[in-house]
């Protein structure tokens, strides 16, 4: 069965003023839609079509660059839309906050570490908060790689991701990536991140 572009749970303009409607429209329909179509084309007629995306990414070093790039692009954008909301922002609560404080010292120290990972990724890529070997870690990956892939420097289950490809922010922020990163904190859906954490913990 072919992979589908998942429906967005909010309007293109819902994340304004932090992420503008034109960026959402092009990012979702053209970029995410493009990765979805290219992934389907790359796996058509192979046994990979029977696997969930997570399983495909796990052994991606043995697969073609088209599967790595487009499979990563498909998964990463799915996650990105899920962890944002027009009612987002604020701080995490409960176990997520406890674990963030345990592994990073405080929420603010975590924010700084994550923002720094996003700002210093040279070229295109993603910053991640990952559940990995029983702890939370922050790092970044190039292009459309992610922590599920066997090629990743740190492997684990991503629970929060920030797209720092220029297409994610250039229409509104141009060269000002740090401003985009700062505004991202206003749209993070911490409940969605918490539920990803619970799923990640129960899997390991």
Partner 1 sequence: MKHELPKLPYAMNAVSQAISERTIEFHYGKHHQAYVNNLNSLIPGTPFENATLEQIILEAEGPIFNNGAQVWNHTFYFETFSPLPKQQPEGEFMWLLVETFGSFDEFKSKFSTAAATLFGSGWAWLVVDTNGKLAITQESNAGNPLRKGQKPLLTCDVWEHAYYLDYQNRRPEYIQAFWSIIDWSIIEKRFLAAK
Q: Which residue in 189, 184, 201 sits closest to 92, CA to CA?
A: 189
Q: What is the nearest approach in angstroms of partner 1 to the Cβ of residue 55?
A: 22
Q: Which is nearer to partner 1, 163 or 194 (CB)?
A: 163
Q: What is the nearest approach in angstroms of partner 1 to the Cβ of residue 98?
A: 35
Give me the residue label for tokens 């034109």: 22
Residues that bind partner 1 (CB under 8 A): 26, 30-31, 34, 65, 69, 122-125, 142-144, 165-167, 170-171, 174-175
Q: Which is nearer to partner 1, 22 or 204 (CB)?
A: 22
State whether residue 8 is helix, strand or coil: coil
State whether residue 7 is helix, strand or coil: coil
Q: Which is nearer to partner 1, 85 or 144 (CB)?
A: 144
Residue 90: what are its φ and ψ, rounded to 5°?
Answer: 75, -145
Q: What is the nearest approach in angstroms of partner 1 to the Cβ of residue 48?
A: 19
Q: Which is nearer to partner 1, 26 or 154 (CB)?
A: 26
Mind spelling out the 3-state secondary structure of 70-86? HHHHHHHHHHHHHCECC
């Amino acid at each position: 069965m072919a992979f589908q572009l998942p429906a967005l749970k909010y309007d293109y303009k819902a994340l304004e003023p932090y992420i503008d409607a034109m960026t959402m429209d092009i990012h979702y329909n053209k970029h995410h839609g493009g990765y979805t179509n290219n992934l389907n084309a790359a796996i058509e007629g192979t046994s990979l079509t029977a696997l969930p995306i997570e399983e495909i990414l796990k052994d991606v070093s043995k697969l073609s660059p088209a599967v790595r790039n487009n499979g990563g692009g498909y998964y990463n954008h799915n996650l990105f839309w899920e962890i944002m909301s027009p009612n987002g922002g604020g701080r995490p609560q409960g176990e997520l906050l406890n674990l963030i404080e345990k592994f990073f010292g405080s929420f603010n120290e975590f924010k700084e570490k994550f923002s720094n990972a996003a700002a210093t990724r040279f070229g295109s890529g993603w910053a991640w908060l990952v559940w990995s070997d029983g702890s939370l870690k922050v790092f970044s990956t190039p292009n459309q790689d992610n922590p599920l892939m066997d090629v990743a420097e740190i492997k684990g289950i991503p629970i929060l991701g920030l797209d720092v490809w220029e297409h994610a922010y250039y229409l509104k922020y141009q060269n000002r990536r740090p401003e985009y990163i700062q505004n991202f904190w206003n749209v993070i859906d911490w409940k969605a991140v918490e539920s990803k954490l619970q799923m990640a913990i129960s899997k390991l």
